Amino acid sequence: MASLVAALPVQAAETAPATRVDLRALEWSPCQDIAPVGDETLECATLTVPMARGDDAGSGRDATVDLALSRVPATGTAEHTLLVNPGGPGSAGRMWAAHTHRRMSEELREVYDVVSFDPRGVGASTPAAACDPDYFTPVRPDTVPAGAEEEAALLDRAEAHAQACADHGGPVLRHMRTEDTAHDMDAIRAALGEERIDYLGYSYGTYLGTVYSALYPERVRALVLDSVVDPDNPWYESNHVQSRALDRAAGTFFSWVARHEDAYGLGGTPEEVADAYYRLRERLGTEPAGGTVGPTELEGVVIVVAYSGRTWPTVASALSAQVNDDDPTALTGLHETYGDDADSDNGYAGYLAVQCTDSHWPKDWDTWRSDTEDVHEDAPFMAWHNTWYNAPCATWSAPADDWFGIGDGPDEHPAYTGDALVVHATGDGATPVEGAHSLHRRLPGSALVIEDGGRTHGVALTGNPCVDEAVSAYLLRGELPAAGPGADLVCEAGPEPRPREAQSDPAPGLQRVGPFGLDRASDSADMVE
């Protein structure tokens, strides 16, 4: 393993940029289009990188991408730079420098510049990915097909969207694999003048960090990977695994609502609450709430309960008002907050461009149907929703490549062997905890911190003292928890929310720019991912 890792710089050289990266000092200036979240100094800059590299360049050797970056400087003398990615894929990331800085302890703020960026094709980075801004116009077709005719219509819709992406997405859609963004990260590191970088990745950002550390092991100083995408599961398999985890998380939410029947009146057992939810879902198929929230829009709202327990009181109140009082106000308001709309086109295009080309997808629709029906039978909460969200990959125009696997196998890449910290909550519904154990086994120098009973997708620097102290000790002093059986450190989760509790700081990341990201709530008072 050591000799293979030592050979990786040669591998990186073989994928050298087709055009020269602009490595002049970044010109930081006050941001014009994003604002600080507090009194921090927030600066922005742009870095030009090749659109295509190495053998992938082809006729587009001279095409470039302008990456939009942000930075919050250290409050004292900067000793390190922390590069942050919130996941996605398809999530704009620039605001995460400000969000991360705000959550840090003063000791961390004093010595860390925090940098984040909009990945290629996404947000303020240009050229921007695009497909069809009308795709999410309500009321959309029900994701659960009633029969063959409805299924065929949904499949036609997915194929048409894939074609719209091919027609309007531009050449960048062919160059948005995770490896492309990993190479961009190293260009950012070089432009910052850093020999080695510290990295904090949430959700899909854990896979991005895993790939980066495999490609550039000598460029990593610290690696924090939180809410892990299982590196053993390519995206098609990963989405079916996620659908089962989302269903388990919904069951936890239904149980909580049942314990507070006096507040919500949706049933006194988890089964009764689930029945109330699915009956509402069926009714919205013929009577959309407020004329805009049908079954599919409802799913886009309630999926947030699998990302954070902090959303439970708000979502439960909205369901209660609709079921018991026929009042759609709260539900339509949540759809406006969490649901997809025309502004989601760029994020969804970015999501598909990564997922559809990172690994191979079945081309035979019978395989999709059979696998989804198997999942739906046991886990109906989001099985079909997840399938249709990814269905454009079945006819995606850009070629897919092999999954960037990590390990000792003949088709795998040697794993990063340096120190790393893996963090995960046991009740995370977006990325099942098994993925954290998988990655921990793959990274021989890693320590695993588990938040037992945690219900949040994205744990580090969110207020659990046990977790945050472990993260700080690692970043500041390189100290990892002592090795233990299974997890190296187990931290108890905080108490579950109280009914109808006001949400002043909802969980990071609740908006559907990608199931593997934290961009849904961006952790401000917008309310919640």
Question: Is the pLDDT assigned to residue 284 strictly greater than 60?
Answer: yes
* Higher per-residue pLDDT: 3 or 166: 166
H runs (alpha helix) in 287-382? 295-302, 312-325, 329-338, 345-358, 365-378
pTM score: 0.92
* The pLDDT of residue 458: 97
> Are 500 and 514 contacting, i.e. CB atoms less than 8 angstroms apart?
no
> Are 392 and 159 contacting, i.e. CB atoms less than 8 angstroms apart?
yes
* The pLDDT of residue 58: 58
The band of 60, judged by pLDDT with boundaries at 50, 70 and 90, is low
* The pLDDT of residue 146: 97
* The pLDDT of residue 204: 98
- Per-domain residue ranges for the chain? 39-126+172-200, 148-169+235-394
* The pLDDT of residue 5: 21
Alpha carbons 404 and 233: distance in angstroms, whole number: 10
* The pLDDT of residue 516: 67
Per-residue pLDDT tens over the stretch 81-113: 999 999 999 999 999 999 999 999 999 999 999
DSSP reduced 3-state for 501 = coil
Angstrom CA distances, 263 to 103, 166, 301, 317, stand at: 32, 49, 20, 8
Question: Residue 363 carries which DSSP code?
Answer: -
φ and ψ of 141, to 5 deg:
-60, 145
Question: Is the pLDDT assigned to residue 16 strictly greater than 70?
Answer: no
* The pLDDT of residue 8: 23
* The pLDDT of residue 491: 99
* The pLDDT of residue 409: 86
* The pLDDT of residue 56: 64
Is 203 annotated in the active site?
yes
* The pLDDT of residue 43: 98
Q: One of 457, 468, 488, 519 is an active-site residue; which one?
A: 457
* The pLDDT of residue 192: 97
* The pLDDT of residue 512: 43
Alpha carbons 351 and 161: distance in angstroms, whole number: 13
Q: One of 428, 468, 488, 523 is an active-site residue; which one?
A: 428
Kindly state the average pLDDT of the residues 273-286: 99
Kindly state the average pLDDT of the residues 436-448: 98
Q: H or E stretch including 113?
A: strand 112-118
> Are 470 and 510 contacting, i.e. CB atoms less than 8 angstroms apart?
no
Question: Is the pLDDT assigned to residue 212 strictly greater than 70?
Answer: yes
Question: Is the pLDDT assigned to residue 367 strictly greater than 80?
Answer: yes
Rounded to a whole number of angstroms, the distance between the first and last alpha carbons of the chain is 39
* The pLDDT of residue 527: 28
* The pLDDT of residue 203: 98
- Domain 39-126+172-200 part of CATH 3.30.1390.10: no
> What average pLDDT does the structure give for the chain?
91
The band of 318, judged by pLDDT with boundaries at 50, 70 and 90, is very high
Lowest mean pLDDT among 9-23, 43-57, 128-142, 348-362: 9-23
Question: Is the pLDDT assigned to residue 160 strictly greater than 90?
Answer: yes
Is 428 annotated in the active site?
yes
Question: Is the pLDDT assigned to residue 7 strictly greater than 80?
Answer: no
Question: Is the pLDDT assigned to residue 311 strictly greater than 90?
Answer: yes
The band of 11, judged by pLDDT with boundaries at 50, 70 and 90, is very low
Question: Is the pLDDT assigned to residue 403 strictly greater than 50?
Answer: yes
* Burial of 14: CB neighbours in 10 Å, binned 0-12, 13-18, 19+: exposed
Share of the chain above pLDDT 90, in %: 86
Q: One of 91, 116, 203, 213 is an active-site residue; which one?
A: 203
Question: Is the pLDDT assigned to residue 520 strictly greater than 90?
Answer: no
Reference 494, options 433, 425, 447; nearest CA is: 425
Longest CA–CA separation in the chain, Å: 67
DSSP letters, 168-233, are: HS-GGGGS-SHHHHHHHHHHHHHHTT-SSEEEEEETHHHHHHHHHHHH-GGGEEEEEEESPPPTTS
Per-residue pLDDT tens over the stretch 245-264: 999 999 999 999 999 999 99
Q: Give buried/exposed letters for 150-180 (b at 16+ CB in 10 A, else e).
A: ebeebbeebbebbbbbbeebbebbbbbbbbb
Kindly state the average pLDDT of the residues 440-454: 98
The band of 524, judged by pLDDT with boundaries at 50, 70 and 90, is very low
* The pLDDT of residue 25: 72
